[in-house]
């Protein structure tokens, strides 16, 4: 006889949903079962390729379980290389101009795998722009996450977009002190005041719900 927990899991599988008991151990996901399995296999393939070959030229940030830990590792590499105290460092951001021909940066990392909700990136003006009609999400361009001294971080002409793992936009504090959903604020060039994009709820998302 099935326990109530296993029965609930079986019913979820029949309905094409991810069982809650899986999500207790899994990375956050709002995807249905088929998309979740596809996403899981994609994550495994990313890390297996990394293991079998070499460090990726660009990192798919949506593949990581503990995203904050990965980004801290990038800061630690910079800190050790230049012998700078890590608590004086922060991550600054630069949209990569030629994504297809981009070479790995000497310092920091190139990051892909994000979506923009509430607006789009205009490759001609190099600024955030209004969404096209009926288009809710657009791919985020490759962004250079570059370690810098906190005082040198660019604070003008940008919109600080919150980056979330899922579209739920909320989470809880884990035992590490990090949110289970919010990752960090990503600065993106903008010729409009931040309030303009805040009213539109503009944010970056690692994984959509489809």
What pLDDT does residue 173 have? 75
Average pLDDT, the chain: 94
- Is the pLDDT confidence value at 178 over 90? no
Rounded percentage of the chain residues whose pLDDT exceeds 90: 91
Whether 84 and 149 have beta carbons less than 8 Å apart is answered as yes
Chain segment 97-111, per-residue pLDDT in tens? 999 999 999 999 999
What is the CB-side half-sphere exposure of residue 104 using CA atoms within 13 A? 10
200 vs 67, 77, 195, CA distance in Å? Answer: 26, 36, 9
Closest C-alpha among 172, 171, 169 to residue 207: 169
Which whole number is the average pLDDT over 22-45? Answer: 96
- Is the pLDDT confidence value at 175 over 70? no
How would you label 134-156 residue by residue, b for 16+ Cβ within 10 Å and e otherwise? eeeebebbbbbbbbbeeeeeeee
What pLDDT does residue 184 have? 96
pLDDT-derived band at 152 (thresholds 50, 70, 90) equals very high
Query: How many angstroms separate the CA atoms of 190 and 156, rounded?
Result: 9
The CATH number of the domain covering residues in 58-205: 3.10.490.20
Which whole number is the average pLDDT over 13-33? Answer: 95
What pLDDT does residue 2 have? 74
2 vs 7, 9, 52, 176, CA distance in Å? Answer: 6, 10, 41, 35
Which whole number is the average pLDDT over 169-197? Answer: 88
Which whole number is the average pLDDT over 180-194? Answer: 96
Residue 76 makes CB contacts below 8 A (sequence gap 6+) with: 86
Task: Enumerate the domain spans of the chain.
Answer: 1-54, 58-205
Query: How many angstroms separate the CA atoms of 27 and 64, rounded?
Result: 8
pLDDT-derived band at 3 (thresholds 50, 70, 90) equals confident
3-state DSSP assignment of residue 3: coil
Tokens of 39: 């996403």
């Amino acid at each position: 006889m099935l326990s109530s927990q296993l029965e609930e899991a079986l019913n979820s599988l029949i309905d094409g949903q991810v069982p809650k008991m899986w999500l207790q151990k899994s990375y956050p996901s709002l995807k249905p079962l088929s998309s979740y399995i596809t996403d899981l296999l994609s994550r495994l393939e990313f890390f297996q390729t990394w293991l079998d070959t070499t460090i990726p030229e660009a990192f798919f940030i949506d593949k990581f379980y503990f995203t904050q830990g990965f980004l801290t590792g990038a800061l630690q590499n910079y800190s050790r290389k230049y012998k700078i105290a890590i608590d004086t460092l922060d991550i600054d951001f630069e949209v990569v101009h030629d994504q297809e021909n981009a070479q790995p940066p000497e310092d920091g990392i190139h990051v892909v795998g994000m979506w923009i909700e509430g607006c789009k990136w205009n490759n001609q003006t190099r600024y955030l722009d209004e969404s096209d009609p009926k288009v809710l999400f657009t791919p985020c361009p490759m962004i250079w996450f570059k370690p810098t001294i906190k005082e040198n971080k660019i604070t003008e002409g940008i919109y600080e977009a919150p980056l979330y793992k899922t579209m739920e936009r909320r989470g809880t504090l884990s035992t590490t002190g990090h949110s289970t959903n919010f990752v960090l604020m990503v600065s993106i060039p903008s010729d409009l005041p931040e309030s303009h994009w805040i009213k539109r709820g503009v944010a970056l998302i690692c994984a959509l719900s489809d």
